Amino acid sequence: MRYLPLTHDNRMEMLEAIGAKSVDDLYKDVPKKAFITGLANLPLHKGEMEVEKILSDYANQNHAACDGPFFLGAGCYYHHVPATVDYVIQRSEFLTAYTPYQPEIAQGTLQVIFEYQTMIAMITGMEIANASLYDGATAMAEAALMAMRLTRRNGIVLKGAPHPHYKEVLESYMKNFSDVALQGQVSEETACVIVQYPDFRGELHDLKAIRKECDAAGAKMVVVVNEIVALGMLPAPDMADIVCGEAQSVGLAMSFGGPHLGFMGCRAEYVRQMPGRLCGETVDADGRRSFVLTLSTREQHIRREKATSNICTNQGLCALAFTVHMALLGEGGFKHLAQLNHERACHLADALDKLEGVSVVNKTFFNEFVVKLSKPARDVVDALVKKGIIAGYPVSEHELLVTATEMTSADDIKTLCAELAGVLA
């Protein structure tokens, strides 16, 4: 077995040193009934060639986004990732490091986290950011819990159209507390108002009006972003108290749903109620600038039952991928990419709107919007799959959410329109 270096002689020698006759002597405290008789019900070990064959067979059964025109978004986006990103994140020293608990030999990871925190803070318009959360949906739930701790209130208001999965995750988390309620209206009980920017249907809301409503009720304002590329073009949601969401779009493949990258920024005064890891600047014994995980008195390994969250391992390598991609994009590239996405979406909207039986519903949008179809959206999607097109996400019986990114070509749009016209005819 190629990953197991002990020799037979090593094993014998070690058993002798221990004073045990066999390895099973070392398992003497385990109840007999729990031992597997013989071997577990898995195949026997395989060489690289065989394993590669099995996994490739699985991969080949799937229709990848690069296999045809692709217009699905809805919280997970098909963007281009520069080759450098995947090269850097596979450096052994990043890939196979642990959480940087020994800062003397983890400055690489720590400096990257510090740079990542700075980038997220800048992009969200917040003063500080943490070192990542699992994904956008759990980030939103953590933001709601954080607002509840800050206000000692238990009501949550969702504005506009949140991602349905995000809403479901929030509801699951909140079910643990009998006194927490999703409210229709902002009141004195409201801990926070959550608004998605752009929302699930691609519309943009007036954040200033929501800020006013929050201020009047003493509630916190949480802005959720599930397409972070939008923040390269839209004004920063800097009037919010907490900005959180999903950053998969920068540096990460869609990978059938994960690993993605949850982010969270907030006002500096809320730092002690923030969940997750934080990296801060300090000096070492020689006075050199250094970085270290800090404020861990908020965290489970120190505070146990009094921690702000149970989160431990988060999305470190994904935060690295984000940082590398964002470093390559830079100020100019990030804004350029955002506008390119918007322009492609404008082209898609114009092309679709011309078709018989299709009309664009949105008044505003960034890179995705809803179209109304003359036939059921689910049937249209299934019919287009047969033509090799992934058309979008049905949001209601006759409505389809479609997305364009920098990966969407003029030919893709032309193919979609031609086939869609056929399906709707």
263: enclosing H helix or E strand: strand 262-266
- Quick count: other Cβ atoms within 10 Å of Cβ 62? 9
15: phi > 0 → left, psi -120 to 50 → alpha, else beta; which? alpha
Q: CB-wise, 82 or 160, nearer to other proteins?
A: 82
Residue 121 in the binding site for other proteins (CB under 8 A)? yes
What is the footprint of other proteins within residues 239-258 (CB under 8 A)? 246, 253-258
Cβ partners under 8 Å of residue 48, min gap 6: 2
Q: Quick one: which of 185, 187, 209, 235 contacts other proteins (CB under 8 A)? A: 235
- Quick count: other Cβ atoms within 10 Å of Cβ 347? 15
Q: Given the rule CB under 8 A, which of 92-100, 154-162, 188-196, 413-421 is the region that contacts other proteins? A: 92-100
Q: CB-wise, 331 or 397, nearer to other proteins?
A: 331
Residue 55 in the binding site for other proteins (CB under 8 A)? yes
Residue 418 in the binding site for other proteins (CB under 8 A)? no
DSSP letter for 62, please: S
Decide: helix, strand or coil at residue 55. helix
Site string for other proteins, 289-308 (x = CB under 8 A): -x-x-xxxx-xxxxxxxxx-
Q: CB-wise, 45 or 185, nearer to other proteins?
A: 45
- Which structure tokens are listed for 137? 């949906």
What is the footprint of other proteins within residues 194-213 (CB under 8 A)? 204
What is the footprint of other proteins within residues 174-193 (CB under 8 A)? 175-178
Q: Quick one: which of 10, 187, 359, 396 contacts other proteins (CB under 8 A)? A: 10
Residue 278 in the binding site for other proteins (CB under 8 A)? yes
Q: Quick one: 154 exposed, middle or buried, by C-beta within 10 A (0-12, 13-18, 19+)?
A: middle
Residue 376 in the binding site for other proteins (CB under 8 A)? no
In 128-207, the DSSP E strands lie at: 128-129, 155-159, 181-183, 190-196
What is the footprint of other proteins within residues 135-174 (CB under 8 A)? 135-138, 163, 165-166, 168-169, 171-173
Per the DSSP assignment, residues forming a β-bridge with 13 are: none
